[in-house]
């Protein structure tokens, strides 16, 4: 089966800045793929390279097996949903959604019919006559998605489309985007700096840093088996510790131990509480273990140890992931 998107040694330089640095990547047809990383890591530039808004300095890009370098955005079978939605305030919702079809010369009746179908897909049937300014943030996001879908692309590119929404609405839209992607069977490429968003939505995640991909894998692979200290630290939160300290490897190796896997255990190892933070369902403890800083997430309880107290902790050795030397 031909992959939806393929990068082979792709770089994009802006002067001396290597925004993307020799990236190799394959995105499968029909998968929900997340590009995750901090600001300036290269993820958005990769999205723009797929869209055709940027051209590679070096390397080769294919979209469904066809060479993409030099092909303008409007000739690629992709569409982009932007973070700011980029809706036209002087147009109603229907004409916003149909705008791409209008540019292609599709007749008024046909493009309006297609726009209404796209609005139904995103649960905005009957909103066609409204103006963008009359919609909530979540509704504007749906209109932007409908505008991308109306052209029937094979790849939908989403550039942090939920970043402007409040937490509750963002979580709702995460579920709806995932359901829609599964129903349509399209390839979704989703750029985000939000680790929880990437882990909860994507079939696979690529973690970016300094223009390079640090690791690609399923959400569980990335979380439970990080390749590097950067991935362990960036994806969720992790205790990155000398492997020999946690009894999982030799001196010089590093290990990842997630805070939720550290438990209070009267028969465990002695640690000193240096911080205590209540988070509703859980309490976060900052600990000192033999001179190393460690974090534990324990179920919220009134008798949790206080700052300055000594407690005992343990963990399941199977939950420790050794990353090796130089990780």
pTM exceeding the 0.75 threshold for the entire prediction = yes
DSSP SS3 for 50: helix
Sole residue written with tokens 């974090």? 295
Pairwise CA distance, residues 160 & 84, whole Å: 9
152-180 exposure pattern, b = at least 16 Cβ within 10 A, e = fewer = ebbbbbbbbbbeebeeeebeebbebbbeb
**Tokens linked to 28:** 């499968």
Q: Is residue 68 classed as helix, strand or coil in its secondary structure?
A: coil
Question: Class of 5-230 per CATH?
Answer: alpha beta
**What's the sign of the alpha-carbon dihedral 165, 166, 167, 172?**
negative
Side by side, the strands of the sheet bearing 254-257 are 239-242, 254-257, 321-324
Helical H segments across the chain, by residue range: 43-51, 93-103, 108-121, 137-149, 167-184, 195-201, 219-224, 229-234
Per-residue pLDDT of the chain (327 residues; tens, 9 = 90+): 689 999 999 999 999 999 999 999 999 999 999 999 999 999 999 999 999 999 999 999 999 999 999 899 988 999 988 877 778 888 899 998 998 888 888 898 999 999 999 998 888 888 888 888 888 878 888 888 898 898 889 999 999 877 767 777 788 888 888 988 998 899 999 999 989 889 999 999 999 999 999 999 999 999 999 999 899 989 988 899 888 888 887 777 899 999 999 999 999 999 999 999 998 899 999 999 999 999 999 998 778 899 999 999 999 999 999 986 556
Residue 179, CA distances (Å) to 70, 133, 182 in order: 34, 27, 5
Instruction: Please report, for the chain, the start and end positions of each structural domain, with discontinuous segments joined by +.
Output: 5-230, 237-324
Phi-psi region of 154 (alpha: psi -120 to 50; beta: other; left: phi over 0): alpha
Assign residue 262 a region (left: φ > 0; alpha: ψ between -120 and 50; beta: otherwise): beta
The first and second tokens of residue 144, run together, are 């932007």
What is residue 306's DSSP assignment?
A: P
Strand pairing report for 78-81 and 155-159: parallel
Please name the CATH architecture into which domain 237-324 falls.
Beta Barrel (2.40)
Answer for the pair 34, 187: CB distance below 8 angstroms, yes or no: no
Q: Measured at the alpha carbon of residue 12, what is the angle toward residues 6 and 18, in degrees to the nearest 5?
A: 125
């Amino acid at each position: 089966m031909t992959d939806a998107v393929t990068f082979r040694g792709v770089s994009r330089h802006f002067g001396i800045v290597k925004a993307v640095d020799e990236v190799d990547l394959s995105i499968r047809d029909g998968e929900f793929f997340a590009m995750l990383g901090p600001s300036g890591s290269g993820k958005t530039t990769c999205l723009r390279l797929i869209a055709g808004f940027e051209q590679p300095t070096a390397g080769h890009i294919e979209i469904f097996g066809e060479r993409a370098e030099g092909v303008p955005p409007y000739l690629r079978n992709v569409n982009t949903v932007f973070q700011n939605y980029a809706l036209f305030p002087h147009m109603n919702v229907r004409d916003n959604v149909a705008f791409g079809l209008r540019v292609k010369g599709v007749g008024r009746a046909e493009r309006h019919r297609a726009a209404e179908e796209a609005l139904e897909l995103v649960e905005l049937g009957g909103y066609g006559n409204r103006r963008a300014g009359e919609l909530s943030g979540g509704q504007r996001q749906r209109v932007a998605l409908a505008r991308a879908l109306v052209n029937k692309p094979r790849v939908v590119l989403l550039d942090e489309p939920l970043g402007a929404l409040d937490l509750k609405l963002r979580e709702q839209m995460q579920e709806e985007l995932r359901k829609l992607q599964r129903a349509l069977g399209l390839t979704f490429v989703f750029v985000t700096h939000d680790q929880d968003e990437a882990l909860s939505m994507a079939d696979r995640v690529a973690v970016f840093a300094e223009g390079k991909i640090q690791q690609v894998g399923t959400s569980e692979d990335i979380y439970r088996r990080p390749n590097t200290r950067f991935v362990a630290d960036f994806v969720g939160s992790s205790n990155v510790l000398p492997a020999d300290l946690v009894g999982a490897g030799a001196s010089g190796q590093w290990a990842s131990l997630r805070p939720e896997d550290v438990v209070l255990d009267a028969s465990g190892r002695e640690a000193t509480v240096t911080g205590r933070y209540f988070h509703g369902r859980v309490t976060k403890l900052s600990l000192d273990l033999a001179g190393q800083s460690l974090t534990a997430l324990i179920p919220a309880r009134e008798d949790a140890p206080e700052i300055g107290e000594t407690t005992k902790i343990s963990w399941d050795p199977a939950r420790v992931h050794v990353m090796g030397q130089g990780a």
